[in-house]
Amino acid sequence: MLGCGVVGSEVAARLQSRAEALEERIGAPLVLTAVVVRDPDKERPGVDASVLTTDAEAAIDGADIVIELMGGIEPAKTLITRALAQGSSVVTANKALLAAAYGELMAAADDSEVRLEHEAAVAGAIPIIRPVGDSLAGDRIDRIMGIVNGTTNYILDQMDSQGWDFDAALASAQELGYAEADPTADIGGHDAAAKAAILSSLAFHAPVTIDDVHVEGITGITAEMVETAKDQGFVIKLLAVCERVTDSPAGAGLSARVYPALLPRTHPLASVHGAFNAVFVEAEAAGSLMFYGQGAGGAPTASAVLGDVVSVARRKVLGGRGQYERPFHPERRVLPISAITTRYHITLDVVDRPGVLAAVSEVFADEGASIELMRQTIGEVDDEGIQHAKLVLATHENTDAALSRTVDRLGDLDVVRAVASVIRAEGQ
Ligand code: NAP
């Protein structure tokens, strides 16, 4: 085992405490031969100190299974590649690495006829990799929409349920240990983007990396946006969307994107509260499926790691070839966000006078976009004695490019004092 931190220590403890049950399920005992760490002198309760080492290469050599839980790109990538090349199956939770090199590592596993399992890399304890890769292998997955980052879901959920602003919700997440001291990877959407890349690679058999994913975080979400959403029957969630696109101005392809979006409160993902994760899968024959549970934490993540360990160990005991899951369709490219069909909800601060609605409608008509719903509420009178109004517009589906151009032009109108917020809507 490479790494013995939050997840590794839970895996090591369970390899010991559940040894009998694991042996029963596998048909052979599992022996933890080495645990690679940076600091072998650190106190690690429940871990046999005699197997701790800093020599990763020696630890890997001759191992049937290598469990990589150190994280980061290097030295994890080199060590996993070494393990696969010598014929060891590998179990990893390393989303950062898989989001950068999924195709390359799967091909290495395939070449050596071993397995590279990674259930824990997406949504912690939730079984989603095996359902997508195996259970639905006979179906066609069209769309995956997930809440795959617990920190941001906690923050948005507190803003929604407690009326807190973003800073207060983030501070609470940090206090509870959901958010790191530097929360950028979570609130910037990058952690969710890594998971979107892995899910897209697996579901669409295409080499999707994190650089292909369009990412927007939640730092721009205000208490007022959450309140406006609530008034209209929506909740704001940070969503990872992986989609098969059959028709767009840029042709057919895939979409992999992460952004905060409005969801109808009746949508199954709207009821995912706190730091929980959920993944909503739409497949051609299966229809809609939802997977729900804890997306992080030492013990929940260890559950997924151990499931993978049992799976590769069973294969080792029974014999049989390993990988097959090469993302072999490089022509399935990820389309730019501008070509993707979305819906916007736009809130404008406008001057309350005749002709405003006509001016706004004209911009929409010019850009070939259309308004599904418009709601105006009276605002404040400013220092110059001008009466303002709040105009909330929900658009029909259109390309992101057309909607984005529409917003730019609305902002230029004399009667529009400010574009108060723009947010996409999903799940309608
Ligand atoms: P962690 O607590 O930081 O533990 C990392 C472990 O790896 C430590 O034991 C550390 O050794 C060891 N390590 C790091 N770099 C090393 C190096 N160069 N040489 C030798 N040992 C090294 O990390 P974690 O939270 O357990 O996460 C592990 C992996 O699981 C990551 O890929 C992460 O993305 C993934 N994951 C984590 C969670 C979660 O809830 N934590 C959930 C899903 C997936 P020392 O102990 O000596 O410092």
Closest-CA residue, ligand 1 atom 23, reads 5
Beta strands in 163-283 (DSSP E): 214-215, 234-245, 253-264, 276-283
For residue 5, say whether it is annotated as part of any ligand binding site.
Answer: yes
Report the residue count for the chain. Answer: 428
pLDDT digits (tens, 9 = 90+) for 348-364: 999 999 999 999 999 99
Q: Is residue 265 helix, strand or coil?
A: coil
| Cα 65 to ligand 1 centroid, rounded to whole Å | 18
- Ligand 1 mean position to 128 CA, how many Å? 22
Strands 214-215 and 253-264: parallel
pLDDT at 380: 92
Q: How far apart are CA 229 and CA 212, in angstroms?
A: 29
| Residue 368 among known ligand-binding residues | no
Closest ligand 1 atom, residue 40 Cα: 47
Closest Cα to atom 31, ligand 1: which residue?
71
Given this model, what pLDDT does residue 320 score?
79
How far away, in angstroms, is 35 Cα from ligand 1 center? 12
pTM metric for this prediction: 0.96
Identity (one letter) of the amino acid at 106?
M
For ligand 1, atom 25, the nearest C-alpha belongs to: 6
Question: Residue 180: what pLDDT?
Answer: 85
Q: Is 4 annotated as a binding residue?
A: yes
pLDDT of 240 reads 98
**Please, what is the Cα angle at 324 between 321 and 329, to 5 degrees?**
165
Among 6, 82, 129, the mutation site with the greatest number of ligand 1 atoms within 8 A of its Cβ is 6
Closest ligand 1 atom, residue 121 Cα: 44
Contact predicate 54/40, CB 8 Å: yes
Contacts of 172 (CB under 8 A, 6+ apart): 154, 158, 164
Distance 6 CA to ligand 1 centre (A): 7
Relative to the CA of 3, which ligand 1 atom is closest? 7
Within 10 Å of residue 391's Cβ, how many Cβ atoms?
Answer: 23
Confirm or deny that 57 is annotated as ligand binding: no
Measured CA to CA, the distance from residue 236 to residue 342 in angstroms comes to: 15
Peptide bond into 300 cis (omega under 30): no
Q: Check if the beta carbon of residue 286 is closer than 8 Å to that of residue 135.
A: no
pLDDT of residue 327: 66
Calculate ∠ Cα 329-149-133, nearest 5°: 35
With tokens 């006979």, the residue in question is 138
Interatomic CA distance for residues 342 and 295, integer angstroms:
27
Which residues, judged by CB distance below 6 Å to any ligand atom, belong to the binding site of ligand 1? 3-8, 36-39, 42, 69-71, 75, 93-95, 120, 124, 296-297, 301
Identify the structural domains of the chain with CATH numbers, from first to last: 6-120+298-318 (3.40.50.720), 141-294 (3.30.360.10), 341-425 (3.30.70.260)
The response to whether 242 counts as a known ligand-binding position is no
The pLDDT assigned to 322 comes to 75
Measured distance CA(245)–CA(126) in Å, rounded: 26
Report CA(45)–ligand 1 centroid distance (Å). 16
Active-site residue set: 195
Low-confidence ranges of the chain (pLDDT < 70): 323-327
Provide DSSP, 4-54.
-SHHHHHHHHHHHHTHHHHHHHHTS------EE-S-TTS--TTS-GGGEES
**AA identity, residue 271:** S
